[in-house]
Structure 1
Amino acid sequence: MAVTWPWVAIAAILALFVLRARVVEDHYGAVVACEGCFFLPSIVQDLWVLAIACVLLAMVIVSPWRLLRWLGGLVLSVLLIGYVIDVYLLHAFGIRLFLADIAVYGLSIGLVVEQFAAWAGGVVPAVLLIVLLVGLVSLPAVLPRSASPVMMASLVLVGLVSTGVAAFGPAPDFVNSWIYRNFLQANSATTESVRYSPERIEAIRNKQDAILPRSCESSPVDRRNVIVLILESWSSYQSPAFGGHLDWTPELDALAMENVRYTNLHAGGFSTNEGLVNILGGVRLWAPFEHLFEAAEFGHAWGIDGGMAEVLGSAGFRTAFLTTGPLSFLRKGEWLRDLGFDYVEGNQHPFYEDWERVAFHAAADEALYRRALQWTGDQADSPYLLVLETVSTHQPYINPETGAYDIEGSFRYADRWAAWFHDRLEERGFFDSGVLLVVSDHRSMTPISAEEQERFGRGAASRIPMFMVDKQWQGAPVVDRVHGLGDLVAGMRQRVSGEVCTDATQASPFRTDEAEGSCAFHLRGSQRGIVDVFCGDGNGRVLLDGDDTRFTDVSGLSPRRREQVLTAIALERIRGSERARRYEAAGGDR
């Protein structure tokens, strides 16, 4: 065993690389109409890591110092564990593992393990799998050494060949190259942490009024009750009413067709937190300047002024946020209160005591709707804003009715109960003095299909459904102009104050005229430095890179429009950085 274990380790590493290449090819080759394009480049890029692994194995074998041998084995183990997690995330969520995410989600390790357990078939199998994985990759640190000349020469040869093939093998540099880059490259190639220089910030401030002129519009004040229903991960591809090819939400589709339907809405990001920052905070692009382990829960989104709760609260509305999920996860409850909500409620409320829990220790959507009806029945004269956040359609897509992994069944379940909730509101006469807004927080965290890519093009990762039940709506039943989730706060301000002022790249989604829409920004989940841009007059792709932030691909946008987009993106990021400094200076208080 002492002689052969390094070869076993190399064989296991190569098997891991082949598995990753197969996942990459199976999930993305057909999507981008380039079958066979990713397998070999993925293997080639992983050979850089094999060369590093050979160095670490040699360290374990020949080092006369036990501490150095242990350190080499530990580094190799951590590298391989990261690789395995990266492959799992790519397969299950369609995203890569970024080290900054570990700093955030590692603080809620219990819920992360729960998600993994659901995929592995239970907590016990998941724990056993993790122990086995750690044990296998840690083996080099504890096994006997074997310093034979043949073994050392073989490791050197494998390392040199791997380096040569990786340096000169096929590695096409094109828009989808993020898919096949190895784990280390994926984490070293991001540029979103590069900050703007003080000189650049001053120049942007001095020119912003000229580049982004603001305009204001008036409308009648509307003090009706508002319910915002955030349907976890509801995606356009699941809904024919919004251009999709899968008919998973027929009852929601029917409601959308009967009311006000938004068919060109884009999420600002790929996760629930980003969706909440967009919808409730009015932040159009949430892309903090954070290096490894600087990342924090809701980083740069603390201390937001003028969010949805504050806008309606200052107009005399009682504001509440209800979910069946945990408020402690990523400090969500604290952040919602910081945002200005009068009342925040999660899965620990006594109402859910007898309900079976599924993902995130959350009761099913049915429970949330029944609790919401109870809450609204207790409200007196003052108007209210009630935000509901569902959980049943969150990864790992456990159908509450069967307890089985079933993504289609989970969304069909959510569809039925959301329609049930609408019908109960209608029976109560809610729509005589209230408005229901149903919206997704982000596209489902699953790989994009070839059919979806063909239908939505650049917007395949960002297009999401939204519709509004508003019996007093005077506009067209279909709103096809571009909007982003970050526009909703501006729309709410227009409703309750009778006036809204926006810059040249933004518009209220509740305007009833045929005015131009917004420019929507979407931060990619697997390329954190890439922002997809959608405007009524064109679209493009922006690379976040400090002072060198720029368009890398553009279609239909004039030079003037591009300058406006880059300025709007810069201002969003600069404001976030300033919020973070103020919040830290105040000791974490508003």
Structure 2
Amino acid sequence: MIVFNKNFSIKRRLIFCQFPLFFFIISFFVLIFFRWNLSLTKINQMTACNADCLVWDAPVYDLGVLGGLIALIGFSRLFYYPLRWIFCVFVSSVILFYVIDVFIYDLFSLRLQLADILKYSSDISGNKTVAWPRIKSFFGVSLFFTGAAACCFAILAIFSNFQKNNYRKIVGCLAAFPLLFVLRYLPQDKNYVLENQNQDFISANIPGGGDKEFSKEFKNELLKLPASQEVCQKSDEIFKSVVLVVVESLSAYQSKNIAGLRNYLPHLDDISRKYAYLDEFYANGFTTDGGLIALLTGHVPLPQINRYQSTDVFSGYKESKQDFFKTLKVGGVHTSYFTSADLNFLKSRDWLENLGFDYIEGPDNSYYSALPRGVFADPGDKALYQRYLNWLDEGLIKGRMFSVIQTVTTHPPFVIPGSEKRGEEAAFQYADEALGGFVRALEDRGFFDAGVLVITGDHRSMTLLTAAEREVLGPSAPARVPAVIVGKSFEGRGRIAGQWQQTDVIPSVLAGFGMESCTSDYQGRFFGERVEAKFIFHALGMERDKVLVKIKNHKKPFFVKLNGDATDWVLKPQEVKNADAVVQEINRQRADLPVVDSNIAHELLKIYNFIN
């Protein structure tokens, strides 16, 4: 029997009671291993990176937690025994939440959010079909047993005596926290775009600056500001038809011609050399919805409050700049959208209909009914391109047209429908071959005599960012995607110098059709009279409270840290006269966006029938 008093003692033959702190550390190391192994498994499932998945972010973050717990145990020795129960409760709570976080991450691929526990705890009912089998599994039993052991050893360590060199050992415990915490700041040779997947649950629950609201007075002042000044002009008609192909996760580093790193896209590289490509092209966001928002509305997908904890990803982006779709309709341009992605996901169909597309088609079309499927019900890029060609051959559209084709096959975990091949390289080689065949088919039909094809990516692939990529593309590597232009008037043009972005597509398409188009310091145009934006914004995925700002004629980008009223440059560009106006523009755009509901956890709990 353990007696907690001033003369606390326990049978010396029980070695784990003689050295409880040592066994607590061992137990917590096992928990760290559980989460590290789980995070590597999740990254591999998402990116099919296999051996390249080995990143140390998760364990170094968790070592900081361990250091904090060791320091608390040491600090508790300075207090009388009754007060040590406070430390027991706190340390045990941290361990408990750590275990729950690992279990939730295993079950839902979602991190524990303490706000969600408070929000939904009264509405959660037991679910024997989802949670209970995993709790009874070897992983579940091992996880909870190790967590319980860590709690027991921590309590024993708090109530035991160091005996000899007591204060020296207390100082040693206190020193553990800064020594272990600083490890998370050591440089990593690889980074993953979903940063909170590797953070410890405490860091993941600290609100970022991106979710800090503006004060009412500051927001009112921002809403009074005029939009950035635009320069508008009407162009001569260049094209009868424009097709925009948005290739899932197409990235600059995959192109030998653009970055010289990988050779995943030989067909696209040949096409870019035969026709033209925009030399330095930026995605404005890091997700598919962000890319589509930029391409089809002309708005930068800057994060509104709770954006990254919400399924309402299109909220605030339901109208395009320059009345794009209305202008096309008035000008007699038919608009169509073809995708192999499930249009019910994130209410994508509703958003596209609201934008004003005349025709929208997803993978539920009867053409795909007998075909094998991949992720998001994807029938494959080849089938998608062939379906569009069939639609084109039907000749239903007699006049001018604007079409968007959104692919899916290269979405992680890189599943090729009807094939046993897996992985990023295999998926992109498949997609590249399909894209090459599509371009040749359009050439055979004479499409490029009066039409143009723009090929780009929705965002950089959500795979590990390597040191080699950062060395070649610099700090802007997370934002870089290819942009290839195929058309008779672009034959033999090759590299088009300058800095370009997804939001430049709307002014460019309008100019291509001979309509009035507008540019500003923040939006350019690459058809007609080319105009580069002076400032390009990219909402970062790795540091979600920061916006990358690429300034014209500056090789390296700068960064703005979002922090409500205190939003400012991380390092202010001294050579730029209107640098403060750039921060003000970011604030103005964000102030105009609605606050969205933090509902991702709620939707997942509904899917798994945990709540009604």
The two structures have a TM-score, normalised by structure 1, of: 0.76
Match for 2:64: what amino acid?
Q
Cα separation, 1, equivalents of 2:183 and 2:488? 54
| SS of corresponding position for 1:300 | coil
Unaligned runs of 5+ in 1: 24-34, 56-61, 90-96, 107-123, 581-590
| 2:455–2:484 CA contact under 8 A, matched in 1 | yes
Residue aligning to 2:81: none
Question: Among residues 374, 383, 386, which one is paired with 2:390 in the alignment?
Answer: 374
Cα separation, 2, equivalents of 1:314 and 1:286? 30
| 2:73–2:157 CA contact under 8 A, matched in 1 | no
Residue aligning to 1:166: 177
| SS of corresponding position for 2:249 | coil
Match for 1:77: what amino acid?
V
Question: Among residues 211, 231, 245, which one is paired with 1:193 in the alignment?
Answer: 211
| 2:341–2:376 CA contact under 8 A, matched in 1 | yes
The alpha carbon displacement at 1:443 in A equals 0.8
The alpha carbon displacement at 1:350 in A equals 1.1
What whole-Å deviation, never above 9, does each CA across 1:240-271 have from its counterpart, x for those lacking one? 22123111111111111121211111111211
What whole-Å deviation, never above 9, does each CA across 1:288-341 have from its counterpart, x for those lacking one? 122785562423333556565444234222211111121111111222112211
Cα separation, 1, equivalents of 2:292 and 2:549? 20
| 1:222–1:498 CA contact under 8 A, matched in 2 | no
Q: Report the CA distance shift for 1:147/1:523 in structure 2 as closer, same or farther (over 3 A).
A: closer
Match for 2:339: what amino acid?
T
Residue aligning to 1:509: 526
Q: Report the CA distance shift for 1:485/1:332 in structure 2 as closer, same or farther (over 3 A).
A: same
Q: Report the CA distance shift for 1:325/1:83 in structure 2 as closer, same or farther (over 3 A).
A: closer
Q: Report the CA distance shift for 1:490/1:291 in structure 2 as closer, same or farther (over 3 A).
A: closer
The alpha carbon displacement at 1:559 in A equals 3.2
**Residues 142-291 of structure 1 aligned to structure 2 (within 5 Å):** 150=156, 153=159, 164-167=175-178, 169=180, 171=182, 182-188=200-206, 190-204=208-222, 208=226, 212-222=228-238, 224-290=240-306
The alpha carbon displacement at 1:167 in A equals 4.0
Cα separation, 1, equivalents of 2:489 and 2:155? 84
Q: Report the CA distance shift for 1:385/1:424 in structure 2 as closer, same or farther (over 3 A).
A: same
The alpha carbon displacement at 1:566 in A equals 1.6
In our comparison, the structure showing a higher alpha carbon Rg is 2
What whole-Å deviation, never above 9, does each CA across 1:146-188 have from its counterpart, x for those lacking one? 7998466369999997765224545279697997853321441
**Residues 44-63 of structure 1 aligned to structure 2 (within 5 Å):** 44-47=63-66
Match for 1:494: what amino acid?
A
| 1:520–1:535 CA contact under 8 A, matched in 2 | yes
**Residues 475-554 of structure 1 aligned to structure 2 (within 5 Å):** 477-496=494-513, 498-513=515-530, 515-538=531-554, 539-554=557-572
Cα separation, 2, equivalents of 1:449 and 1:490? 34
Residue aligning to 1:58: none
The alpha carbon displacement at 1:415 in A equals 0.7
Q: Report the CA distance shift for 1:473/1:39 in structure 2 as closer, same or farther (over 3 A).
A: closer
Residue aligning to 1:80: 102
| SS of corresponding position for 1:482 | strand
| 1:506–1:517 CA contact under 8 A, matched in 2 | yes
Question: Among residues 434, 440, 460, which one is paired with 1:443 in the alignment?
Answer: 460
Unaligned runs of 5+ in 2: 1-15, 42-53, 75-83, 121-129, 598-612
| SS of corresponding position for 1:568 | helix
Cα separation, 2, equivalents of 1:479 and 1:99? 46
Residue aligning to 1:340: 356
| SS of corresponding position for 2:432 | helix
| SS of corresponding position for 1:195 | coil
What whole-Å deviation, never above 9, does each CA across 1:447-471 have from its counterpart, x for those lacking one? 1122211111011111110111122
Cα separation, 2, equivalents of 1:377 and 1:568? 45
Match for 1:171: what amino acid?
V
Q: Report the CA distance shift for 1:164/1:399 in structure 2 as closer, same or farther (over 3 A).
A: same
**Residues 451-470 of structure 1 aligned to structure 2 (within 5 Å):** 451-470=468-487
Cα separation, 2, equivalents of 1:549 and 1:519? 17
Question: Among residues 134, 138, 143, which one is paired with 1:137 in the alignment?
Answer: 143
Match for 1:153: what amino acid?
F
Q: Report the CA distance shift for 1:198/1:470 in structure 2 as closer, same or farther (over 3 A).
A: farther
The alpha carbon displacement at 1:535 in A equals 2.0
Residue aligning to 2:48: none
Q: Report the CA distance shift for 1:517/1:155 in structure 2 as closer, same or farther (over 3 A).
A: farther
Match for 1:441: what amino acid?
D
| 1:310–1:341 CA contact under 8 A, matched in 2 | no
Q: Report the CA distance shift for 1:37/1:10 in structure 2 as closer, same or farther (over 3 A).
A: closer
Cα separation, 2, equivalents of 1:155 and 1:310? 77
| 2:64–2:183 CA contact under 8 A, matched in 1 | no
Residue aligning to 1:426: 443
Q: Which region of structure 1 is more displaced relative to structure 2, 36-45 or 229-238?
A: 36-45
| SS of corresponding position for 2:517 | strand
